[in-house]
Structure 1
Amino acid sequence: MTDLRGAKSATAAAATLRAHPAAASAIASCLNAQAESRPRSTFGKAFGVSPLSEASRGPYVAALGALHVADELAKLGPDWEILHGVPAGERGGVIDHLAIGPAGVFALDVLHQQADTVTVRGDLLAINGVPRPHLALARDLATDAAVNLTRVTGLNVPVRGLIVYVAPQSVSVRDEPDDVGVTSDRTLCKWLATREHVLDAATVAAIADAAAEPSTWRGAAPHRTPGFDGTAFDALRVEVQRAWLARGFWGTALIAAAAIAAVQLFGA
């Protein structure tokens, strides 16, 4: 489980974006929505009623997806620097994860598409056959990041958008756009690790240092998301898991009871 309470790096100064925890905005939205919901009854807890409200379910799933992708990115090793929740620029977008490493700079947009079919044919991206604007949104985030990093470092810093779908049924890519990649959480690390190396270690460090500075992003303040509480979210995850186990127990008990009743009825 991702440690939500600490910074990404123990040596990072709290005043930089290195202190941003992953999924902070989604976690805050989830907890804020939960605060407005009615607590479960004792009966509800015993029978596995979900603690999530209708309003908190979406950001809860989004937070889990972002945390899972953050854990996957950590497997890339020390050659890569990963920043979370980067405010991309003028349009107000936020990059879920900014990955900076030997293969370049990537602005990751994490989307939860459980059991969905994703197809990419050039500039057409569809979910279950329905066109979606994900490529354009990812492109905007990457463009904003490139403009800011180029301005601050004095280097030409291309940034490629990267859409990461969490738990899809499949991702089929043909004629992938040059400026936006598309992959799943299962293949993310391989996708990044097998890219051609275009940056040396010194350049990676210089870009990462610039990206970590709030001033790079038009004066964005260090992460202070109202409502963010990593400990509270961890506790909520435990509640959700216990509710899932309780529903499984009662479901199994009902099936067993029905089977016993059938044997007694037809065996009489």
Structure 2
Amino acid sequence: MTVFPARRAAPTARALPPVAVPHPRAEASGVLDPVRPSPLEWARRRRAERGARRLEAAGARALGRLDHLGPAWHVIEWPRTDTTDLLLDPSQDDRAGFLAIGPGGLFAVTIADHGRARVLVAGDVVQINGKRPPYVAEARRDAKRASKVLSQAVGLPIPVTPVLTFVGSGVISVYGLPKDCLMATHRELDRLLVAGGNRITPATAEKLARVAQHPGTWMNGTYRPAGDYRWYDDGRTAADKPANRR
């Protein structure tokens, strides 16, 4: 007769050590409950969102005036701030602006929303609510950067004129205009852009608009200067262009 060893009896529940089982409600509450921001953080976020909406509405009002200029004009959205400058000062990304390209030339438009506040202008100094933001210096810097980038892409010097546009219902008092920078309200923007007459042809404006719309134009080191762009068709030169009789 074969005798098998007896199995050890399984320990009863009383013999097992107590195991701490987390309560399902207690565990889920810690995961699902969102972290509430402090009142100061909530107020800052609400203020930033309200400012972004106001700036977007101001840009739309300025763009609406350019609809009267006709199809020969092109509006280009472009990165007005360098990547390095944006990393050093994230507040610079809150500025609004665009490129306006047409027979009147190339313009880098900077939008300044002053609401109902009074604006005082004296040369390069702009004062709003007791503060003096560097709007004129920023407009010049943006126009200079756009001119440099477009000139490298085309292979020819492309001048870009800075334009500072005020959007709001407050009174604007001007004691002297800045040099090398145009200034107007959003209601006068369309008339300001065509005040200088026709400087380039609509075909040239369309070519420059295509260059400005190319995403590689504004990226450092990815777009070859004049590599993929031809000002004239293949086999043609500047001498082959017919003269215009007046």
TM-score range, shorter chain: 0.5 to 0.7
Equivalent residue number for residue 199 of structure 1: 200
> Displacement, 1:127?
2.2
Q: C-alpha displacement at 1:188, in angstroms?
A: 1.2
Tell whether the 8 Å contact from 2:99 to 2:109 is kept in structure 1 after alignment: yes
The one-character-per-residue Cα deviations of 1:144-184 (angstroms, maximum 9, x if unpaired) are 10000111112211111111111142334454334221111
8 Å contact 1:153–1:206 — kept in the other structure? Answer: no
CA distance in 1, matches of 2:101, 2:80: 16
Give the drift of 1:87.
4.3
Distance 1:85 1:147, change over 3 A: closer
Question: What is the distance in 1 between the residues matched to 2:196 and 2:140?
Answer: 19
Within the candidate set 64, 67, 73, 1:74 is matched to 67
Instruction: Tell me: CA distance 1:160–1:115, structure 2 relative to 1, closer, same or farther (3 Å).
Output: same
Provide the C-alpha distance between the structure 2 equivalents of 1:65 and 1:191, rounded to a whole number of angstroms: 18
Task: Kindly name which structure, 1 or 2, has the bigger radius of gyration based on alpha carbons.
Answer: 2
* CA distance, structure 2, for counterparts of residue 116 and residue 220 of structure 1: 43
Q: Which moves more between the two structures, 142-151 or 169-178?
A: 169-178
**Cα distance between partner residues in 2 of 1:191 and 1:211:** 22
Question: Per the alignment, do residues 56 and 135 of structure 1 end up closer, same or farther by CA in structure 2, a change over 3 Å counting?
Answer: same
Alpha carbons 2:80, 2:142 under 8 Å: kept? no
Counterpart Cα distance in 2 of 1:110 and 1:37: 35
Residues 84 and 57 (structure 1), Cα distance of their counterparts in 2 relative to 1, 3 Å cut: same
Mapped partners of 2:80, 2:133: distance in 1? 23
- Alignment partners' CA distance in 1, 2:141 and 2:60: 23
Alignment partners' CA distance in 1, 2:97 and 2:71: 20
Per the TM alignment, residue 88 of structure 1 is displaced from its structure 2 partner at its CA by 5.2
Q: Take 1:220 and 1:85, find their aligned partners in 2: how far apart are those partners?
A: 17
CA RMSD of aligned residues (A): 2.9
Residue of structure 1 equivalent to 2:152: 151
Q: Secondary structure at 2:69's aligned position in 1? A: coil
**Is the contact between residue 214 and residue 220 of structure 1 (CA under 8 Å) also seen in structure 2?**
no
Aligned to 2:76: 83
1:173/1:182 contact within 8 Å kept: no
The aligned residue for residue 103 of structure 2 is 102
- Partner of residue 183, structure 2: 182
1:92-137 C-alpha deviation (Å, 9 max, x unpaired): 5666211001121111111211122223322222225643311111
What's the secondary structure of 1:137's corresponding residue? helix
Which residue matches 1:215? Answer: 216
- Provide Cα deviations, 1:22-71, integer angstroms capped at 9, x if missing partner: xxxxxxxxxxxxxx999xxxxxxxxxxxxx94442111111111122222
Aligned residues: 173
Cα 1:187/1:196, change in 2 over 3 Å: same
Q: Distance in 2 between matches of 1:185 and 1:53?
A: 27
Name 1:233's counterpart in structure 2.
none
* Cα contact 2:139–2:162 (8 A) shared by 1: yes
Aligned amino acid, residue 71 of structure 1:
G
Report matched runs for 1:1-268 at 5 Å. 53-87=46-80, 89=82, 91-92=85-86, 96-128=97-129, 130-218=131-219
Provide the rounded CA distance (Å) in 1 between the counterparts of 2:184 and 2:82.
24
Q: Which has the higher contact order (CA 8 A, sep 6+)?
A: 1
User: Aligned pair in 2 of structure 1 residues 83, 158: CA closer, same or farther (>3 Å)?
Assistant: same
Identity of aligned residues (%): 28
User: Where does structure 2 lack aligned partners over 5 or more consecutive residues?
Assistant: 1-34, 38-44, 87-91, 223-246
Question: Which whole-Å CA distance do the structure 1 matches of 2:168 and 2:214 have between them?
Answer: 33
Which amino acid is 1:146 matched to? S
